[in-house]
Structure 1
Amino acid sequence: MRIILYLGKGGVGKTTVAAATALRSAQLGYKTLVASTDIAHSLADSFDIPLGATPMQIADNLWGQEISVVADIHNYWGTLQTLVSKAMTGPGISNVVADELSAFPGMDEIVSLLHINRQAKERAFERVIIDAAPTGETIRLLTMPDTFRWYAGHVSRLESTVVMRALKPFAGRLLQGPAEILEAVSTLDAATAELRATLSDPSISSYRVVLQPEKMVMREAERAISYLGLFNYPVDSVIINRILPEEAGESDFYRQRQGIQAKYIELIENNFRPLPIWYAPYYAHEVVGLEALSQLAMDCFGPSDPGAIFYRGILQEIVETPDGGYLMRLPIPFVGRDDVRLRKRGDELFITIGNFKRELILPTVLAKRRTGGGRLQDGMLEITFLPLEAEPAVSN
């Protein structure tokens, strides 16, 4: 079973790449589902075939689906939402308003992910290809299992606390039927725990970032990989999409655009090491329909199976040190020099080792700290981040 999730900035072509990957996988004989978790679905437009909330067959071995949260939400959330909704109704609050207010923040993301996990668990498909929402929404989606489990753990412990026992006489209907609520939370928590294990298992799940050779797109992709690393989600490759062909034209416009793309392609190749990088051309025609998607898959992946695992290993590791600082470890293969130069600007870190240069986007926990130096050891670059300086005392 393989789950491959494509993410990237809106408009970079991740829907098209996901569709092409799924089609090629099906052509290789794997029973494949391609599903969209983006609220603004465009997967059906890519295939030029209507799709719905349940899997619909597109071609031999290939099914497509545009996941509907509304269609699935009651499978996981119905019992708990009904109980909370009933508890909230009363003077001044209609049933409709109570039902809206009872929706747990982020439940739409949880339901989308649980739907993906259900496909994996049932083993109905050998491969599930996910066309995800734009990067920011997808990162939020992928952090929801950890967030929900934190809340669920606290809710499960709440019944036995002194505070809960003290509040019971005053809380009225909100605390009626706590056993049902706790049972519903426990069921959802168990499903979310299984989901988290599936999404972080590198033998099952892979994450791929689609980007175009442009500065803003590249920076957002770097941030995405940084945050995926924090949550131990395995990234196995990067796809550079819409690369202008060399024979595009002799005009100044095309030469300038090709020059800009060449600069950022080189940066991407340096900044995303050691991930494999795939290259997809910019076509004169729209990439719509099975024939065009099949061509894209061959131009991007060549004879390789796009459902294979292209990279195994840690892209970055961040550990807290006993003094309150942090240590970041990055694999830097084939670089043997020891003089490491670091320059930090906001959340950007510039690394220079001899002729090797790399720019890195830091997660928030490191962006606000000063670096304490770096060293190469056994193919790993270790960078220290100092403890936060104590805030000066405010005098009265």
Structure 2
Amino acid sequence: MALILTYLGKGGCGSTTVAIAAAKQRSRAGQRVLLVIQDVTPAPALLLGQPLGAEPAELEPNLWAMQFQAATQLEKSWDEVKTLEAQYLRTPFLKAVYGQELGVMPGMDSALALNALRQYDASDRYDVIIYDGSDATATLRMLGMPEILDWYLRRFRGVFQQSDVGRVLSPFLQPMASAVLAVDWSGDVLDQPTGQVRSQLEDGRQAVTNPSRVAAFLVTTPTAGAVATARYLWGSAQQIGLTIGGVLVNSGHLNDDQATSFAPLPQVTLPQVVEQGWESAIDALPDPAQWAAAAPRPVSVDEATKTVRLFLPSFDKTQVKLTQYGPEVTIEAGDQRRNLLLPKSLQGKAVAGAKFQEQHLVISFS
């Protein structure tokens, strides 16, 4: 299992430069590092001084790098789909469609990138994987996919089972599945086809919320727009359970008010790579694992006091909407929505109140 890191900031703040410096730092510390860059333009190769391709290539000892190419990843994923189809269906019908024919639809990039990260992580070839996305908001949506997709499967499966259509069709699904598919789906047929997917989604969700598995860092400059964007990304990251380890400042120093607005995150100012070279930036970067381990947790539950604390910096109570649906609480903040599945001890209990306290939304249950 690798530690997956990403760097979030407003466009032009130097996130790619920081990601490269971090990759060099970790590789020189003896860790096996994979740097995945989503930008397919020549710019990253110019920064690295070496060409990049669609497959990991070793740039220096312990450091591999690649440019994420959606079309190539789509072709690989399509081959996997066809393999699964041949495994479960007696007469596969996708075999006549080839991955080379497929075009990348809008929104596919994030799902393909997430799947690629999952595969590289599972390979056990790397200790650290650094993902440099082309857009910070898209990166957050990508990392939030496991939780969101798991909610859709969980929610609509229940809706279907409780509907008249579900009750009418259920007696016929098992014999029909046995006749069409090459495997026996005994028990609840609706659980079987989604079981493997649910397991992968749960693994992904747990990884994103575990700072020893996935962590992010904010990258900003002292300009007002960059600081405001970084603070927004900080709050949005909490909505997917992603730990933000600290703030990395490019092109100058934050003033006192700006620095205070990121408290309690640790902050460091990075020297300009163009002026002082890679070595100075590498030396200035902190150990990401240590910073992530000490960062505030997005969610904490106190079952004894029947409270849930959500860390929501950069948002105030007027920007947050709270709704309860059965065993879940939906929290809307900014452009992010999270469906928080409550622990069993709190399921069935109604929300008694909610208040902001030291950048936390504290929800109490009766």
TM-score, normalization by structure 1: 0.62
Distance verdict in 2 for CA 1:12–1:177, change over 3 Å: farther
CA offset at residue 18 of structure 1? 0.6
1:114-136 per-position Cα deviation (integer Å, ceiling 9, x unaligned): 22122222210111112122222
The equivalent of 1:220 in structure 2 is 229
1:12-44 per-position Cα deviation (integer Å, ceiling 9, x unaligned): 111111111111211122111111234657432
> What secondary structure sits across from 1:34 in the alignment?
strand
The equivalent of 1:203 in structure 2 is 212
The equivalent of 1:108 in structure 2 is 109
The equivalent of 2:245 in structure 1 is 236
| Structure 2 residue corresponding to 1:163, chosen from 144, 162, 165 | 165
**Does residue 132 of structure 2 align to residue 147 of structure 1?**
no
Counterpart Cα distance in 2 of 1:177 and 1:223: 50
Structure 2 unmatched ranges of 5 or more: 86-91, 171-176, 184-188, 302-307, 321-332, 338-353
The equivalent of 1:266 in structure 2 is 256
CA offset at residue 230 of structure 1? 1.9
Counterpart Cα distance in 1 of 2:336 and 2:108: 26
Distance verdict in 2 for CA 1:48–1:22, change over 3 Å: same
Counterpart Cα distance in 1 of 2:129 and 2:274: 30
The equivalent of 2:279 in structure 1 is 294
Distance verdict in 2 for CA 1:147–1:55, change over 3 Å: same
The equivalent of 1:134 in structure 2 is 135
CA offset at residue 381 of structure 1? 6.0
1:182-211 per-position Cα deviation (integer Å, ceiling 9, x unaligned): 877554443232222222211222111111
Distance verdict in 2 for CA 1:71–1:164, change over 3 Å: farther
Distance verdict in 2 for CA 1:4–1:364, change over 3 Å: closer
1:100-127 per-position Cα deviation (integer Å, ceiling 9, x unaligned): 79x8874431221122122222210111
Q: Identity over the aligned pairs, expressed in percent? A: 21
Distance verdict in 2 for CA 1:365–1:142, change over 3 Å: closer
Contact kept, 8 Å, 1:328 with 1:384, in 2: the verdict is yes
Contact kept, 8 Å, 2:221 with 2:249, in 1: the verdict is yes
Contact kept, 8 Å, 1:67 with 1:112, in 2: the verdict is yes
Contact kept, 8 Å, 1:5 with 1:206, in 2: the verdict is yes
CA offset at residue 276 of structure 1? 1.2
Counterpart Cα distance in 2 of 1:56 and 1:316: 35
Structure 1 unmatched ranges of 5 or more: 90-94, 169-174, 244-261, 320-325, 332-342, 349-361, 367-371, 386-396
The equivalent of 1:363 in structure 2 is 334
The equivalent of 2:296 in structure 1 is 314
CA offset at residue 158 of structure 1? 7.7
RMSD over aligned Cα atoms: 4.5
After TM superposition, the structure 1 = structure 2 runs for residues 1-396 of structure 1, keeping only pairs within 5 Å, are 1-38=2-39, 42-76=43-77, 106-153=107-154, 162-163=164-165, 186-243=195-252, 264-282=254-272, 285=275, 292-298=277-283, 300-301=284-285, 304-306=286-288, 308-314=290-296, 347=319, 363=334, 380=358
CA offset at residue 64 of structure 1? 0.5
1:223-246 per-position Cα deviation (integer Å, ceiling 9, x unaligned): 111111122111111101122xxx
Q: Larger Rg: 1 or 2?
A: 1
The equivalent of 1:339 in structure 2 is none
CA offset at residue 281 of structure 1? 2.5
Which residue type is aligned with residue 239 of structure 1?
A: L
> What secondary structure sits across from 2:131 in the alignment?
strand
Tell me which moved more, 269-278 or 37-46. 37-46
1:359-381 per-position Cα deviation (integer Å, ceiling 9, x unaligned): xxx63689xxxxx9766xxxx56
Contact kept, 8 Å, 2:238 with 2:312, in 1: the verdict is no
CA offset at residue 279 of structure 1? 0.7
> What secondary structure sits across from 2:263 in the alignment?
coil
Counterpart Cα distance in 2 of 1:200 and 1:382: 17
CA offset at residue 344 of structure 1? 6.4
Which residue type is aligned with residue 296 of structure 1?
A: A
Distance verdict in 2 for CA 1:364–1:109, change over 3 Å: closer
Contact kept, 8 Å, 2:245 with 2:288, in 1: the verdict is no
CA offset at residue 177 of structure 1? 6.3
1:62-109 per-position Cα deviation (integer Å, ceiling 9, x unaligned): 1101122322335545566998xxx999xxxxx89xx879x8874431
Distance verdict in 2 for CA 1:100–1:25, change over 3 Å: closer
Counterpart Cα distance in 1 of 2:318 and 2:137: 19
Counterpart Cα distance in 1 of 2:102 and 2:288: 41
Counterpart Cα distance in 2 of 1:57 and 1:283: 22
Aligned residue-pair number: 307
Which residue type is aligned with residue 210 of structure 1?
A: V
